[in-house]
Structure 1
Amino acid sequence: MGRLIVVSNRVATPTETKGSAGGLAVGVFGALKDAGGVWFGWSGDVVSETVANAGPTLEQDGAVTFATVGLTRKDYDQYYRGFSNATLWPVFHYRNDLARYERDEYAGYRRVNAWLAHKLVKLLEADDIIWIHDYHLIPFAEALRSEGVTNRIGFFLHTPFPAPQILLNIPPHEELVKSLSCYDLLGFQTATDQQAFHDYVTRHARGTVRADGIVEAFGRKLRTGVYRIGVFPDEIAEQAKRYESRQHVLELKQSLEGRKLIMSVDRLDYSKGLVERFRAFELLLERSPEWRGNVTLVQIAPPTRSDVATYQKIRHDLEYEAGRINGRYSGLDYTPIRYLNQQYDRWKLMSLFRESQIGFVTPLHDGMNLVAKEYVAAQNPDDPGVLVLSIFAGAAAELSGALLVNPHDAIGMCEALQRALQMPLDARQRRHEVNMAALRENDLGVWRDSFLTDLRSMPVRKPGEFGSRT
């Protein structure tokens, strides 16, 4: 069995894979340790052209090589801030109103993908299999193929894949789908995302789709599949229990003075429905006066992409809403919303989840949303909290024990919070058991192993099969 080569926009450091890294890093690192291989991608640093062109920085950890490169300021602005996060991210999350398209940024996006692929080629061996992750790297396989790489190459999309009428808002939509056809295996989070890709192929690319997920388009054949990323629920449960007596948890419990706790954790992003969530909580206090002074919402939202204007705006809007609601309902000894715009260690978050009565996870659109799964896994099975979950999170298809809500319906979310706060113990336990069974059936290892098994089963490409890039 050949090595595994993982390519992602950012590479977790060896230290992160052993500590605070999220689910993706944990799953990928586990596969790399088993097979041996390379994790390749951007270091997160913006560097001079001289440093960028010097070659990857290599760091060894057992059988895993971490290979990272820096980006120049121009590449960062065009590839990362530009086309990846000002065009693809909003459109893939159904926010065309926030998308911006610039031809030079798209050219930079393709240029950086080709440059990264060229760097990787020098590290490849003949029997390696290559696993590419996420929207930043859609053209990566096409760039590898243009350099003669015939290895099996898979791609997993962590975001939603938009319906064709949404995708058409990106001017080079056909080029992007043609690039995706250079992979052997395309993995999607949900059947809805897979169907959206199939619909584009049949309606706009004059391609065909078989019942088994085999797609023929642009003169190429590839396989598509649904692979639901998960967590290791029992590991999270053990860690959450271990940390529940730590100082930060004791301080939180003391400060709540017996009040109910609603926990929300998200990156500070407009796709997460944060403002809508705050307004739903405000409605709870407005419509149910008995909860004033008796329930607190803790919203942890670490900053992200703080140099992008739309992210600056969502931070401003959220701070305004928190201040407005707190000004309306606070007392001398009570603050309804505790809004924390900072990063917390992952295991500290799990222990805070365990202490809360509600997990409030309401994205406007999301690929999977592992926070929802982590919240469930962290609960005390003897006295579990209730997950209130958006129907637009990929996790909603699995977690049938959650209270599902439409994040555009503030009253509906308010009513779900009220129901969760009043839910009796036996009902909470039943819902928790259903959700935990789903998490164990499709844990992070199942996601990882099923994708890699399918990728290894694909036939090896023939030299010259793709021809030159068009």
Structure 2
Amino acid sequence: MVVSALGGTMSGDVEPTSPEPIRALATVPTLGVLVDLDGTLIPIASTPQQAQSDAEVASVLRDLARAPGTCVVVVSGRPRASLDDRVGGIEGIDLVAEHGAWRRDERGWSPLPLVGTPPDGIERTLAALARAYPGAFAEPKTWSVCLHYRRVSASSREALVVEATHAIRGWIAQHPEYELLEADHALEVRHRGAQKGTAVPWLRERLGPGARLLALGDDLTDEDTFASLDEHDVAVLVSPSERTTRAAARLEGPSEVRALLRWLARARHRAVAHRDVTIGSSDSQPPPPLPRRRAAVSPDDGPPLVVISNRMPDAAPSGDARTRNVGGLVAALEPALAARGGLWLGWSGRARAGQHRDLAIDRSVVPARASFDFEPRWHELYYNGFANRSLWPLFHSLPERARYADDEWAAYVEVNEVFAEAASRVTSRNGTIWAHDYHLLLVGAALRRRGFTGRLGHFLHIPFPPLDLLETMPWAPEIVSALLAFDLLGFHTRRFAANFLACARELAGAERIAEDALRVQGRVVRARAFPLGIDPAPFESPEDDEGVDEELAQLRTAMGDRQLVLGVDRLDYTKGIPQRLEAFARMLELHPALRGQVSMIQVAVPSRSDVPEYAAQRAAIEALVGHINGTLGEAHWVPVRYVYRSYGRTHLARLYREADVALVTPLRDGMNLVAKEFVAAQDANDPGVLLLSHFAGAAEEMRAAALCTNPYHRDGMANDLARALAMSLEERRARHAELLAMVHRTTSASWADAFLSALEG
């Protein structure tokens, strides 16, 4: 790992087994130690109340605090009473509570002077929300409130997070002095001035000039402490696995932290007694942190491939579906990056003022990762603003939902410039860069302006609109011209590629020289279709799961002999969920014999909680479900079951197999991998029917064998659904065999290989 100011110089190499940075602290005249509590000194527990200190922690801290020239500060996000209760009685140590909002030295507790509204209002909101989710609770503090959900069932976590985030973002909009922090199974609303990094100048002022600092911590809030250190200090991440961090070294967990601090106490006592720490003695060798190799990147020795996306993939697989923020893109790109020794660059997910020029590079994981923090305003203006309120609706052919604001466009330009600057720091000038999706349409041009001469590719994961729609955007010519800085532009379908080619001719004066190629300013730019696929194996043979088995057994009992129609979608207005529900209800009106014989399950996966349009979409869907059930349902039969939650892959695969018909009917979609997952999950002897929108990108590949429908035509979709439910076994088998062959032919791996072969060839 290396931390670099984007305009500065990176550090040199540190040998992977060298303990020197830690050992040197034993002999400095004055040393300050800042150590986190939960996850660093003591193990994480299910609730803050269950996490307790012990006699060993007290002994280690007391001995270190007694060492000559040593000051020990426990820095925690806990309320001061809770921190006092656990370590306040240890002689000689100081405390920092509530992320720096309170400090305790020999004179007692004193508050950090902060200005703003106390968080009482959002505390009441989060407490009320927590009562609706068993296992959740809100922890109030002076200048923050933390919503804990570690004990909430995995299937309900995402819904809770989305609801809470929506409430928090709304409150923060009225109280900009606060920010949202995403911690381990917790969301915290915190005053921007109360952060752990404030403990560093407070301690340094007390210790005087020349003091060295050692900081140890395990979570993202400790990165504030690490960022506040200077080049002579040492930061240690406490984590059983690697992640992107500003720390120079890593320890596995609390037991290793205690061992290191115990050694440090002995070594500093010995240094005073003997004026030296003998290198060969048992006391002199610290329990070795696992140093993270520091590697500078020069213009000539960067990784051969850099992938850029708005968000980073997870450092390791997680059981929490919410953390899989890049979805199928991870499975497709990680093997390609690993094979080429490449690096993945993206936003860290954190927003902190003044930190975006710090680039954290972690080469200890495969593939290597580089990330940076956003300025707080970027999330609202760039991400929620231009990306998701301008580009997203327009590119999905819904121009009436798009809005255009000059400040949001300016933020979009600014963030693309920052991505380009970061990319230029981690790649050689003639390397290969592959950028992804609608967040980064301008990054290629920004890289060219910085002198990048290597191969540049871009893949758009959403549709590209036709010319007459794109022209409604005030900055359409700028966007098209910027895209022409790439060498290869990838789209899910031939139609999307053709739309871009037409726009490039009209808006940027590009010359069409081949079916998939343009000439512009002496360069050749290609635009081609690369349909993204899935890895079918996990859906064909899902893992056993007793909880899933039990839930599906209950579903079969509830369904009886009725047929099952299934919809699975992220909650988004482009997915056509209201239109689908109306078509289902219309089918029951047009075909009354089906009443009581078929039920629908609509799974809405929580999404984009802080964009108001999505909250309105959810409310509309829930009202429509209630209307349908109230109007058409019977005491013994509920027409529609609506589920607002996320499912893991195993659960989805098993649910797909239970369905007689899958309704994949977006109003417009780049691809829609649900269609391919459903096909892969079917029993070939008795497969279900895929009812697919003409306007899903998947329809270009699957149209011949899927039953296609028009989601804008309610009666037509109703009759198509009735036809799907009545389809013979012979026809279902024939359609499924053709669809399954296509799913195996175009996979996530073959997609990545095809694009990179075209880009690098």
Q: Which of these two proteins has the greater Rg computed from alpha carbons?
A: 2
- What residue in structure 2 maps to residue 403 of structure 1? 707
Aligned equivalents of 1:358, 1:275: Cα separation in 2? 18
Deviation at 1:68, TM superposition (A): 2.5
Q: What one-letter code is carried by the residue in structure 2 that aligns with 1:437?
A: A
Separation of aligned partners in 1, 2:429 and 2:551: 50
CA distance in 1, matches of 2:518, 2:303: 26
- Do the aligned partners of 2:304 and 2:427 also contact (CA within 8 Å) in 1? no
Aligned counterparts of 2:491 and 2:529: Cα–Cα separation in 1: 5
- For 2:557 and 2:489, the matched residues in 1 are separated by 49
Q: Say which SS state the counterpart of residue 282 (structure 1) adopts.
A: helix
Mapped to 2, the partners of 1:378 and 1:243 lie a distance apart of 18
Q: Is 4-13 or 185-194 further displaced after alignment?
A: 4-13
TM-score (norm 2): 0.58
Of 366, 375, 383 in structure 1, the residue corresponding to residue 669 of structure 2 is 366
Of Structure 1 and Structure 2, which has the larger fraction of its residues in helix?
1
Partner Cα separation in structure 2 for residue 441 and residue 338 of structure 1 = 34
Please, what TM-score do these two structures have when normalized by structure 1?
Answer: 0.92
What residue number does 2:304 align with? 3
The residue number in structure 1 matching 2:741 is 437
Say whether residues 1:43 and 2:348 are aligned partners: yes
- 2-side partners of 1:36 and 1:260: how far apart? 49
The 5-angstrom pairing of residues 11-26 of structure 1 reads 11-16=312-317, 21=324, 22-26=327-331
Identify if the C-alpha distance between structure 1 residues 419 and 59 changes in structure 2 by more than 3 Å, giving closer, same or farther: farther
Deviates more, 1:290-299 or 1:356-365: 290-299
- 1:391 to 2:694 alignment: yes
CA contact 1:187–1:226 (8 Å) conserved in 2:
yes
Amino acid in the other structure paired with 1:164: L
Partner of 1:170: 473
Matched residue, 2:91: none
Structural mapping, 1:46-57, within 5 Å:
47-56=351-360
Query: Within 1, Cα distance between the matches of 2:376 and 2:453?
Result: 32
Partner of 2:228: none
- Per-residue CA distance 1:355-376 (angstroms, 9 max, x = gap): 1111100011111111111111
After superposition, give the CA deviation of every residue in 1:220-276 in whole Å (9 maximum; x if it has no partner): 431111101111223421227888972232232222223211111111111111110
Q: What do the CA deviations read for 1:379-398 (whole angstroms, capped 9, x no partner)?
A: 11111000000000111111
How far the C-alpha of 1:126 sits from its partner, in A, is 4.7
Letter in 2 for 1:405: T
User: In 2, are the aligned partners of 1:407 and 1:413 still within 8 Å (CA)?
Assistant: yes
Does the 8 Å CA contact 2:480/2:507 hold for their aligned counterparts? Answer: no
Instruction: State whether residues 230 and 442 of structure 1, in contact with CA within 8 Å, keep that contact through their aligned partners in structure 2.
Output: yes
- What is the match of residue 752 of structure 2? 448
AA in 1 matched with 2:456 = I
Q: 2:721 aligns with which of 417, 424, 433?
A: 417
CA contact (8 A) 1:201 1:217 kept: no
Shift of 1:65: 1.2
CA 72–255 in structure 1, closer or farther in 2 if over 3 Å, else same: farther
1: distance between equivalents of 2:736 and 2:547?
Answer: 19
CA contact (8 A) 1:90 1:96 kept: yes
Matches of 1:271 and 1:439, distance apart in 2? 24
Unaligned runs of 5+ in 2: 1-301
Q: Which amino acid aligns with 2:313?
A: A
Using the aligned pairs only, state the percent identity. 38
- The 3-state SS of whatever aligns with 1:246 is helix
Q: 1:31 aligns with which of 308, 313, 336?
A: 336
Report SS of the residue matched to 2:642. Answer: strand
Q: Which of 488, 491, 494 is the matching residue for 1:188?
A: 491
The answer to whether the 8 Å contact 1:181/1:218 transfers is no
CA distance in 1, matches of 2:574, 2:698: 15
Hey, what's the Cα distance between the residues in 2 that align with 1:123 and 1:223? 26
Distance 1:406 1:334, change over 3 A: same
The Cα of 1:33 is off from its aligned counterpart by 2.2
CA contact (8 A) 1:205 1:218 kept: no
Judge conservation of contact 1:359–1:385 (CA < 8 Å) in 2. yes
1:401-438 per-position Cα deviation (integer Å, ceiling 9, x unaligned) = 11100111111111111111111111110000010111
Deviations 1:53-94 (A, max 9, x none): 432363742x31122223222111111011101100011001
| Structure 1 equivalent of residue 401 of structure 2 | 98
1:190-205 correspondence runs (5 A): 190-205=493-508
Work out whether residues 429 and 451 of structure 2, in 8 Å CA contact, stay in contact via their aligned partners in 1.
no
Map 1:278-317 → 2, pairs under 5 A: 278-317=581-620
Contact 2:539 2:649 in 1 (8 A): no
Deviation at 1:9, TM superposition (A): 1.2
**Structure 1 residue aligned with 2:385:** 82
1:217 CA displacement: 2.9
For the 8 Å contact 1:231–1:374, the answer to whether it is kept is yes
Q: Is the Cα contact below 8 Å between 1:181 and 1:220 reproduced in 2?
A: no
Match of 2:541, SS?
Answer: helix
Partner of 2:298: none
SS in 2 for 1:215: strand
Shift in alpha-carbon separation, 1:252–1:14, aligned structure 2, 3 A: farther
Conserved? CA contact 1:227–1:451, under 8 Å: yes
C-alpha displacement of 1:331 = 2.4
Residue 225 of structure 1 corresponds to 528
C-alpha distance 242-342 of structure 1, shift in aligned 2 (>3 A): closer
Question: How many residues align structurally?
Answer: 455
- Which structure's relative contact order is higher, taking Cα pairs within 8 Å and 6+ residues apart? 1
Which amino acid counterpart does residue 233 of structure 1 have in structure 2?
P
Is the Cα contact below 8 Å between 1:385 and 1:428 reproduced in 2? yes
Partner of 1:466: none
Q: Is the Cα–Cα contact under 8 Å of residues 402 and 435 in structure 1 kept in the other structure?
A: yes
For the pair 1:334 / 2:640, whether they are aligned, the reply is no
C-alpha separation in 1, matches of 2:624 and 2:603 = 15
The aligned residue for residue 268 of structure 1 is 571
2:448 corresponds to which residue? 145
Query: Residue 238 and residue 128 in structure 1: after superposition, are their counterparts in 2 closer, same or farther (change >3 A)?
Result: farther
Contact 2:430 2:452 in 1 (8 A): no
Cα distance in 1, alignment partners of residues 697 and 429 from structure 2 = 36
Please tell me the root mean square deviation across aligned C-alpha atoms, in Å: 2.1
Task: Please list, as runs of the form range in 1=range in 2, the aligned pairs for 1:64-143 lying within 5 A after superposition.
Answer: 64-126=367-429, 128-143=431-446
- Residues in 2 aligned to 1:148 and 1:32: alpha-carbon distance in whole angstroms: 24
- Separation of aligned partners in 2, 1:16 and 1:95: 35
Residue 620 of structure 2 aligns with an amino acid whose one-letter code is D
Secondary structure in structure 2 of the residue aligned to 1:278: helix
Q: Distance in 2 between matches of 1:421 and 1:8?
A: 41
* Pairing 1:236–2:236 present: no
| Aligned mates of 2:649, 2:668 — CA distance in 1 | 23
1:161 corresponds to: 464
Query: How far off its partner does 1:199 sit?
Result: 1.0
Which amino acid is the alignment partner of residue 36 of structure 1?
A: G
* Aligned-partner Cα distance in 1 for 2:744–2:576: 28
Equivalent residue number for residue 239 of structure 2:
none
Q: Is there any run of 5+ residues in structure 1 with no aligned partner, and where?
A: 458-470
Residue identity opposite 2:358 in structure 1? A
CA contact (8 A) 2:573 2:614 kept: yes
